[in-house]
């Protein structure tokens, strides 16, 4: 990743394009521009955090905060192929500490359930299967094959061939596919019903 064209230190993350030029900036320099323009500062926040999944496995996340003319975006990114990636946003004047807590809560909820089980055939060959008849993940690019994306589930990447093999045990079943905005929550029907009962 290229270095920031303003400070020359941090990796560039934002690309600003104007009629005159295109500039690559790190988050710190970009947020500084937004602060000068709108008078809202990015409060201090941890640049990294470890969160455990439902199995107790620790995952290290890089934390990012980006100011915008209308919103504040926060993201927790596990820096590896297929790693977890969680996003939240609030309006420009939102409580940034509360936004961080929302991000942590979303990450904990998103990692609470494991969707893919691993096993071994008698011949020693490894296989994967879908737990509980449902699966949630993220579509991401495959740098080795631009024709097909990868599916990131449980903090790992799976090819569509691997995903297809997982579906073989469900031959004849119906399929429900729903694409969800990365800033929204993934909700299952049983969770929604539980919320209604609690209310």
- Token pair, residue 189, equals 């029907």
Q: How do residues 60-87 score in pLDDT, each as one tens digit?
A: 999 999 999 999 999 999 999 999 999 9
Banded pLDDT at 21 (limits 50, 70, 90): confident
Looking at the structure, tell me whether residues 128 and 162 fall in a common domain: yes
For residue 103, give the nearest of 67, 55, 59, 51 by alpha carbon.
51
Host domain of residue 75: 40-110
Question: 132 and 162 in one domain?
Answer: yes
pLDDT of residue 190: 67
pLDDT at 192: 53
The answer as to whether 196 is a domain residue is no
Is residue 195 in a domain?
Answer: no
User: Contact at 8 Å (CB) between 67 and 31?
Assistant: yes
Query: In the chain, pLDDT over 70 holds for what percent of residues?
Result: 94
Single out the residue of 159, 121, 154, 158 nearest to residue 136, CA to CA: 154
Same-domain pairing of 136 and 160: yes
Domain assignment present for residue 184? The answer is no
Q: What is the dihedral of CA 17, 20, 21, 23, to 10 degrees?
A: -60
Mean pLDDT of 138-146: 87
Between 20 and 1, the more confident residue is 20
* Residues in CB range of 17: below 8 A, 6 or more apart: 23
Model confidence at 196, pLDDT cuts 50, 70, 90, reads low
- The total domain count for the chain is 3
Do 154 and 173 reside in the same domain of the chain? yes
Domain membership of residue 85 (yes or no) is yes
Residues 168 and 132 placed together within one structural domain of the fold? yes
Q: How far apart are CA 185 and CA 105, in angstroms?
A: 11
End-to-end Cα separation, the chain, in angstroms: 48
Residue 126 lies in a domain: yes
> What value does the mean pLDDT take over residues 123-143?
90
| 32, 47: one domain | no
């Amino acid at each position: 990743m290229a270095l920031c064209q303003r400070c020359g230190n941090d990796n560039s993350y934002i690309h600003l394009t104007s009629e005159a030029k295109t500039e690559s900036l790190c988050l710190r320099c970009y947020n500084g521009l937004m602060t000068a323009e709108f008078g809202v500062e990015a409060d201090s926040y941890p640049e990294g955090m470890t969160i455990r999944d439902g199995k107790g496995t620790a995952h290290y996340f890089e934390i990012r905060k980006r100011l915008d003319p209308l919103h504040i975006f926060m993201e927790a990114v596990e820096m590896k192929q297929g790693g977890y990636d969680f996003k939240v946003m609030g309006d420009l004047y939102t409580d940034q500490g509360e936004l961080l807590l929302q991000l942590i809560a979303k990450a904990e909820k998103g990692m609470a359930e494991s969707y893919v089980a691993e096993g071994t055939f008698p011949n020693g060959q490894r296989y994967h299967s879908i737990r509980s008849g449902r699966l949630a993940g993220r579509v991401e690019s495959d740098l080795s094959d631009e024709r097909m994306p990868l599916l990131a589930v449980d903090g790992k990447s799976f090819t569509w061939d691997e995903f297809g093999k997982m579906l073989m045990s469900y031959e004849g079943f119906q399929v429900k596919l729903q694409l969800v905005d990365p800033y929204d929550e993934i909700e299952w029907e049983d969770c929604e019903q539980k919320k209604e009962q609690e209310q």
